[in-house]
Structure 1
């Protein structure tokens, strides 16, 4: 497979980019799913060719950090495990997010996996789509109870029932919690994706790499009219829309699946970090108790699907012994932190170390607060806006923001130049309804 790729700062499987702690390789997983054998290959590659640090990303992928000089050997190992694209140029555009419980969720309206397979095959095989930015992303929502509904995507599709007909609502530069632009019949989902991407490439100038930039010059109504002319069927209106987010963190612990007697177990990687032993151990549990697969989630966690309900306690105990977090009552399971100054030249603080201190403080006080620690304004660790964000301004010093739909970026600035202790005290004093999701 040729590895001639266009220049980009985004890592991929075939493009390893440098960082302070070594190279970074991003492994894009189809629908967030990975087999036990593939998980072992990732663990082995991280041990042999890198520093043993594996990250679960906020788009349900995996990254290997600290890669040394043997780039080609690492890439070859991952390709041999079936973790690469069908064409080299297709690696960057494999940006399709599904629910981690696609096909098994009790609340799902439709199993999105067949359509997802079609979309991913087209993204990789259609040469023109290789012109898309590595950040250009699509979300396909099947109405599952476990779904990330806060990450903005360039195109999103969401299943709903319209008087007994299954349809796909869709929107641009947003997420399923937004009002849709229109809808198409379920069987036209693939045609819609193709039409949207081709229209984007027809209209966007080279510097316009994201849908939001195109919308700044071409109103949504104009794009909708152009889309209508490209689709085989008529666009439909969506009269009522309410895509409710889950009321509890369904990615942590054990939850029933659609099939009676079957459950999945969710375990959070502490601050998004896995070591080879964790990943290898989870893979062994998936083979022993489940269906031999793992699913990554946008919450930097992993799921073991298709377990017998009576086996869940034993699986949870084993996962916890590996160092994974399986209880929502664990404060560390609610914190997000970027790589920080130990691995990133742009970070202004050791966000990982500071997050561990903050979690210990919350745990002592019996609080679980959803907080995002970001080493700089780029917000690499969180694609959504967290209820509370600590933005590093110097080592051990942070500005505190609270989410506010009326404010751009992280939200409303609450306090500046806080020490970690002062930030923890303010967050601890905040009413629970304002900071606990």
Structure 2
């Protein structure tokens, strides 16, 4: 028999939503469903759609960490949680839910470029996180990335710990780094693949041993603890010679929409406009996954869905059905180039209706605009995990400051213009991508 639910029980105070911790927002509660490596089965997608209709306002969001969240949750918290748990969408121990922050490629185990099928190790890491009480002291935001050298991979989101494979003497090793990204940062060392779980445990336990109560993330700890001191105390034999320390991760794919290569077959990437799904969209995508694919949907860090193993004979029909649902199926579509936070209707800190403004902006910018223009309602920029090539920061309803990403400047980058209307911002963004993304 399942234990009774007590939604009031949560492992620690936090403003970060979870399945067990429904956090209040202006438009109602937010319930975040942390998916194992981004995997959502078709039947589970139906359960999420039903939950959004029965217990909330019908708004489902794809997050930039490959998860889902339901917005506008009403008073029936316990019924919502039980409904999601019955679908296998989380652990029955509240403390084990927060720490399930492990990001994989949406084509983990299927990408033709991969050096490593990350799924077995990912399963071991998730089991360790869920079942080890000591690790439940980690922040709900503490995150791990397990990269398999896939072509379809997010390499810009910073993680507290990242692991990425490399080949040395015809053997697979795992390079690792702290508070950064495999796409840009130098590794600190490497271990044989068989030691990947032990390394992950050692890093997490050392963090908890050294971090103060105010240091919830690795970057905060490393401000006071030298990296070398952290690494030396791991108690794991590391390889730190030039072939490891000089290794750099190959660049990844920049297109995650439309047909995507698999080691066998074809996958199909689609995106809900501005990251928001209706229950009908999610149910429809689940049905396409059942009929045309293997019944799996994979949430991606681009706030998109990847339907895996689509039969070649079904590819055109699947894409047509998904487009008819209102999903974005091509990087050439205007909304594929724009992201936005929840905006003033959902967040008390937002100064503008960023979702509605993003729809207007998408119609104004030309095809040469950068792949990611982000509208943020306040300086926190919660909706993106890395700095976008162009950011519009709200200063009042319908008015924005424009920043362009600059590696030499902190935050959003270089301020290019202030107090712009959407029309003026669209005109300024009508530039070749290389001028905005360098």
TM-score band, normalised by the shorter chain? over 0.9
The aligned counterpart of 1:274 is 277
Q: Aligned pair count?
A: 428
> Which of 400, 403, 406 is residue 402 of structure 2 equivalent to?
400
- Residues 1:320 and 2:329 aligned together: no
TM-score w.r.t. length of structure 2: 0.96
- Residues 1:252 and 2:257 aligned together: yes
Three-state SS of the structure 1 residue aligned to 2:364 is helix
Is contact 2:138-2:216 (8 Å) kept?
yes
Three-state SS of the structure 1 residue aligned to 2:207 is helix
Three-state SS of the structure 2 residue aligned to 1:361 is coil
The aligned counterpart of 1:215 is 222
Is contact 2:375-2:394 (8 Å) kept?
yes
Assess, with a 3 A threshold, how the Cα gap between structure 1 residues 290 and 95 changes in structure 2: closer, same or farther: same
The aligned counterpart of 1:44 is 50
Three-state SS of the structure 2 residue aligned to 1:254 is strand
> Which of 162, 171, 183 is residue 190 of structure 2 equivalent to?
183
Is contact 1:184-1:236 (8 Å) kept?
no
The aligned counterpart of 1:435 is 436
Is contact 2:18-2:31 (8 Å) kept?
yes
The aligned counterpart of 2:26 is 20
- Residues 1:72 and 2:78 aligned together: yes
1:48-127 to 2 correspondences below 5 Å: 48-127=54-133
> Which of 283, 292, 297 is residue 294 of structure 1 equivalent to?
297
CA distance in structure 1 between the aligned counterparts of 2:380 and 2:288, rounded to whole angstroms: 36
Q: For the aligned residues, what is the CA RMSD?
A: 1.3
Three-state SS of the structure 2 residue aligned to 1:91 is helix
Three-state SS of the structure 1 residue aligned to 2:254 is coil
Alpha-carbon offset, residue 310 of structure 1: 2.8
Is contact 1:374-1:389 (8 Å) kept?
yes
Please, which moves more after superposition, 234-243 or 20-29? Answer: 234-243
Is contact 2:115-2:148 (8 Å) kept?
yes
- Give unmatched runs, 5+ long, in structure 2: none
Alpha-carbon offset, residue 93 of structure 1: 0.3
The aligned counterpart of 2:146 is 140
Alpha-carbon offset, residue 239 of structure 1: 4.1
Is contact 2:189-2:245 (8 Å) kept?
no
CA distance in structure 2 between the aligned counterparts of 1:122 and 1:247, rounded to whole angstroms: 31
Deviation track 1:64-103 (CA, whole Å, cap 9, x = no partner) reads 0011111111111001000012522011100000011000
Alpha-carbon offset, residue 368 of structure 1: 4.4
Alpha-carbon offset, residue 436 of structure 1: 6.3
Three-state SS of the structure 1 residue aligned to 2:233 is helix
Alpha-carbon offset, residue 374 of structure 1: 0.5
CA distance in structure 1 between the aligned counterparts of 2:367 and 2:217, rounded to whole angstroms: 42
The aligned counterpart of 2:382 is 380
Is contact 2:150-2:252 (8 Å) kept?
no
Please, which moves more after superposition, 196-205 or 2-11? Answer: 2-11
CA distance in structure 2 between the aligned counterparts of 1:158 and 1:234, rounded to whole angstroms: 14
Deviation track 1:124-179 (CA, whole Å, cap 9, x = no partner) reads 11101111110100000000000000000000000111121100110000010211
- Residues 1:201 and 2:208 aligned together: yes
TM-score w.r.t. length of structure 1: 0.96
> Which of 150, 153, 158 is residue 152 of structure 1 equivalent to?
158
CA distance in structure 2 between the aligned counterparts of 1:379 and 1:151, rounded to whole angstroms: 14
The aligned counterpart of 2:391 is 389
- Residues 1:9 and 2:15 aligned together: yes
